[in-house]
Amino acid sequence: MKTLISIIGPTGIGKTKLAIAIARFFDTEILSCDSRQFFQEMKIGTASPSEEELAAAKHHFVGHLSALRDDYSIGKYEEDALGLIDNLFIDKDKIVLVGGSGMYEKAVTEGLNSLPKANEENQKKMEKILETEGIEALQNLLEELDKDYFESVDKNNPRRLLRAIDIIFQTGEPYSKIINKPKQKRPFRTIRIGLEAPREIIYQRINQRVDMMMENGLKEEAIALYPYRDKVALQTVGYTELFKYLDGEWTLDFAVEEIKKNSRRYAKRQMTWNRSLPNVYWLPYDYSERDLVSLLESLT
């Protein structure tokens, strides 16, 4: 059976490097399921693969959309990714999937349940709350309606909050229950390789990466995107904090510390999500080449 190798792990742990090594080992290609890396204007803040990394193995779904012009749903991603996977499996026995967006990984590996379309009335109500009371009001509402999903969702992404609350209102069921219902089996097997590290190491790497992003021009990237700060794709860690600095609400140092804090919180949610996934072969973050080759040879 054809095999999809999904690389999971918290932000900043080295998933891109591992994905490239595996793709080169099996002479195959990589699909990104990092929903923030889809957008070409957000390279620094999303730690998108560098030009050298993109050249080391063929990547798909990296920088193929514009945060300023394109709307892209998880359902459309599922459709596009499965179509590409079908084509790649004509010549490849294994394909690599990598990214930190758990729901997008789930869409490819397991499929999404049939969900109702957005209810315009519900959306308007939630957008009004967002506009007048802020994102904290939506966070509190979702926590009250569905604590399980609230624990794993990106709490700083209003689109995710709006969608979940809308579905709960329409169905009367917790969103976490709906998305975990059994779905049609995929025509390929999925093997997950997870990277893990002690929490203090993960947090240290995140702090260092944010500092490196700032050195590489994250502030300048945010300045260029500032006129478009209301775009949904930009409502994410690394940009919302710097937009508050540009609005004069925060100092730059405070904004950077908030990016680090929110990134650490995001990593904690990722770790909680990943612990619930089946079929995971865990590797330490500082794995040796011998460790990796031994694991990959066992998968052939």
User: Is the pLDDT score of 182 beyond 70?
Assistant: no
User: Is the pLDDT score of 129 beyond 70?
Assistant: yes
Whole-angstrom distance, CA of residue 209 vs CA of residue 260: 9
As given in the structure block, the two tokens for residue 165 are: 């609350």
| Residues in a beta bridge with 196 | 284
Residue 12 assigned as binding residue: yes
Residue 109 assigned as binding residue: no
User: Is the pLDDT score of 184 beyond 80?
Assistant: no
User: Is the pLDDT score of 283 beyond 80?
Assistant: yes
Residue 9 assigned as binding residue: yes
pLDDT of residue 76: 92
Whole-angstrom distance, CA of residue 26 vs CA of residue 72: 30
pLDDT of residue 79: 94
- Residue among 12, 21, 2, 1 nearest 193 (CA): 21
Q: What is the mean pLDDT of the chain?
A: 93
User: Is the pLDDT score of 123 beyond 80?
Assistant: yes
User: Is the pLDDT score of 24 beyond 70?
Assistant: yes
User: Is the pLDDT score of 1 beyond 90?
Assistant: no
Whole-angstrom distance, CA of residue 121 vs CA of residue 103: 25
Whole-angstrom distance, CA of residue 231 vs CA of residue 247: 16
Q: Are 236 and 36 in contact (CB under 8 A)?
A: yes
**Mean pLDDT over residues 169-195, rounded?**
87
Whole-angstrom distance, CA of residue 106 vs CA of residue 142: 21
Question: What is the CATH code of the structural domain delimited by 120-179?
Answer: 1.10.20.140
User: Is the pLDDT score of 278 beyond 90?
Assistant: no
As given in the structure block, the two tokens for residue 297 are: 């040879």
C-alpha atoms less than 13 angstroms from C-alpha of 240 in its C-beta half-sphere: 20
Domains of the chain, by residue range, sit at 3-112+183-298, 120-179
pLDDT of residue 219: 98
Top mean pLDDT of 33-42, 66-75, 135-144, 158-167 is at: 33-42
- CA 222 → CA 42, 67, 120, 280, distances in Å? 9, 12, 31, 36
- Residue among 18, 36, 13, 44 nearest 192 (CA): 18
User: Is the pLDDT score of 62 beyond 90?
Assistant: yes
Location of structure tokens 């315009």: 120
For helices 252-275 and 199-215, angle between their N-to-C axes, nearest 10 degrees: 140
**Mean pLDDT over residues 152-175, rounded?**
87
CATH 3.40.50.300, applies to 3-112+183-298 = yes
pLDDT digits (tens, 9 = 90+) for 222-275: 999 999 998 889 989 999 999 999 999 999 999 999 999 999 999 999 999 999
Whole-angstrom distance, CA of residue 27 vs CA of residue 54: 14
**Other residues' Cβ atoms within 10 Å of the Cβ of residue 253:** 9
**Which of these ranges, 105-114, 207-216, 262-271, has the smallest mean pLDDT?**
105-114
**Mean pLDDT over residues 27-46, rounded?**
97
Whole-angstrom distance, CA of residue 135 vs CA of residue 132: 9
Residue 15 assigned as binding residue: yes
The whole-model pTM stands at 0.83
pLDDT of residue 151: 87
- Residue among 294, 293, 298 nearest 24 (CA): 293
